């Protein structure tokens, strides 16, 4: 018997370009903007072509947009396969089989103004582990407008993992960010840029947190991923603006 648990890591307010503010990403059936955050999905046991979640990409730019979806394997356990379908206005659209490359881009879809596209995600796996897939939206597969993470965990038992409470402030940041994680004695922090490059790895000890200097970071969007043994991973988005 499979038990699927779906949870949304808390939404971080978008503070970015006007373009990004005119693109929102929601879960199918929800009005909550989750762009720049992560969705956790838990399964138990072997699955084949398991339909995970559908992300709805809303075009609020006021004009038609030819958008591409780029998928990045932030982490993909050995033997796991992921594929997606990218279509318009709720339709399945074009489906793309698993591609082993860490970065892969779909074909372009013309999303009309005040319309939407749908990213349907599927996973095949037979081993325990956790995969993190990041889905970017762009016009060229290189200059990314926004993104959303999908964290899929296949567990050996149905025992519920404890949740981490993570706070990252200030946001936007210019000089430093303070990261606090409660729910675990020690947590690892990885900060990556929008291209998936790791810019920093640190350890947060207890509720005292960690103060990280970002004065040498380039202006832009960064993802703060916090992990602790036996707990669900948490991702936060932070803007660095000097």
For 198-233, give the DSSP string. Answer: EEEEEEEEGGG-EEEE-TTSPSEEEEEEEE-TTS--
* pLDDT at site 58: 95
Fold of 165-240: Immunoglobulin-like (2.60.40)
pLDDT at position 72 is: 96
pLDDT of residue 160: 55
Q: What is the pLDDT of residues 16-25, one digit of tens each?
A: 344 455 899 9
pLDDT at site 232:
72
Joined tokens for residue 86: 């990218």
Which pLDDT score is estimated for 18?
Answer: 40
* Sheet with 94-96, edge to edge strand ranges: 23-27, 47-59, 116-125, 81-88, 94-96
CATH of 5-155, one of 3.40.50.20, 2.40.70.10, 2.60.40.10, 3.40.50.10070: 2.60.40.10
Q: Where are the chain's structural domains?
A: 5-155, 165-240
Query: To 5 degrees, how large is the angle CA 19–CA 119–CA 62?
Result: 30
223 and 192 Cβ atoms separated by less than 8 Å: yes
Whole-angstrom distance, CA of residue 164 vs CA of residue 81: 27
Predicted local distance difference test score (pLDDT) of residue 81: 94
The stretches in the chain having pLDDT less than 50 are 1-19, 158
Report the distance separating Cα 204 and Cα 236, nearest Å: 15
pLDDT digits (tens, 9 = 90+) for 190-235: 898 877 788 998 887 666 778 899 999 998 888 888 888 777 778 8
Q: What is the pLDDT of residue 162?
A: 64
What pLDDT does 10 receive?
33
Please state, in angstroms and rounded to a whole number, the distance separating the CA atoms of residues 37 and 229.
21
Give the residue among 17, 19, 204 at the shortest CA–CA distance from 236: 204
**CA dist., res. 111 & res. 133, Å (int):** 23
First and final C-alpha spacing in the chain? 51
- The two tokens of residue 154 are 């296949």
Give the model confidence (pLDDT) of 66-78 as tens digits. Answer: 999 999 999 999 9
């Amino acid at each position: 018997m499979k038990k699927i648990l779906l949870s949304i890591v808390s939404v971080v307010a978008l503070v970015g370009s006007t373009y990004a503010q005119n693109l929102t990403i929601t879960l199918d059936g929800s009005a909550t903007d989750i762009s720049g955050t992560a969705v956790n999905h838990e399964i138990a046991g072997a699955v084949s072509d398991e339909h995970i979640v559908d992300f709805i990409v809303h075009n609020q730019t006021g004009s038609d947009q030819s958008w591409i979806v780029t998928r990045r394997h932030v982490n993909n356990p050995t033997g796991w396969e992921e594929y997606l379908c990218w279509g318009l206005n709720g339709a399945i659209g074009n489906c793309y089989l698993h591609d082993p490359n860490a970065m892969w881009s779909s074909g372009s879809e013309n999303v009309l103004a005040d319309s939407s596209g749908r990213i349907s995600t599927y996973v095949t796996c037979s081993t325990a582990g956790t995969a993190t897939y990041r889905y970017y939206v762009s016009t060229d597969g290189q200059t990314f407008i926004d993104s959303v993470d999908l964290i899929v965990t296949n567990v050996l038992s149905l025992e519920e993992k404890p949740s981490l409470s993570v706070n990252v402030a200030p946001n936007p940041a210019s000089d430093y960010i303070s990261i606090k994680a409660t729910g675990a004695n020690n947590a690892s922090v990885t900060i990556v840029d929008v291209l998936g490059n790791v810019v920093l790895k640190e350890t947060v000890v207890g509720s005292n947190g960690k103060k990280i200097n970002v004065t040498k970071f380039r202006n832009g969007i960064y993802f703060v991923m916090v992990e602790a043994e036996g707990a669900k991973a948490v991702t936060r988005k932070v803007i660095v603006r000097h």
